[in-house]
Amino acid sequence: MFNPLHSSPQEIEQLGREYGTELAAALVLASRRVGSDTQVKRQMAQIVLREIGIAVYELRRAEYPFEVVQAYEHGARDGVRDLIERSIVREAQSTRRAA
């Protein structure tokens, strides 16, 4: 079982990154389904950020040290950013190939 108090900052950050990647994967999948509706995409992105905020809030509420909370949040946000950037690059490459 995961115990942030006995984990290294790198392990905690990696757990956050995995969570962020999962959220981003759901966002990318849903984004493809709604097409070009930017308002819906913005709302979905807000949901992802809210979910990260809730996870961070729960860690703070459980009184984990600031470093644990910060590492987790940093990892989660990086996971979202990295997956979305890769998705954008893949989409641009596939668009160029189709042209």
- The predicted pLDDT at position 3 comes to 67
Contact status, residue 24 vs residue 48, Cβ threshold 8 Å: yes
Contact status, residue 80 vs residue 21, Cβ threshold 8 Å: yes
Backbone φ, ψ for residue 8 (5° rounding):
-75, 160
The answer to whether position 28 is within a domain reads yes
The answer to whether position 23 is within a domain reads yes
Cα separations in angstroms, 63 against 51, 52, 77, 93: 19, 17, 21, 45
Containing structural domain, residue 83: 9-98
- Convert the pLDDT of each residue in 27-50 to its tens digit: 998 888 888 788 888 899 999 999
Total domain count, the chain: 1
DSSP, res 8: -
Residues of the chain scoring pLDDT < 50: 1
Which of 59, 50, 57 lies closest to 7, judged by CA?
A: 59
Prediction pTM value:
0.83
| Residue 94 tokens, joined | 């596939």
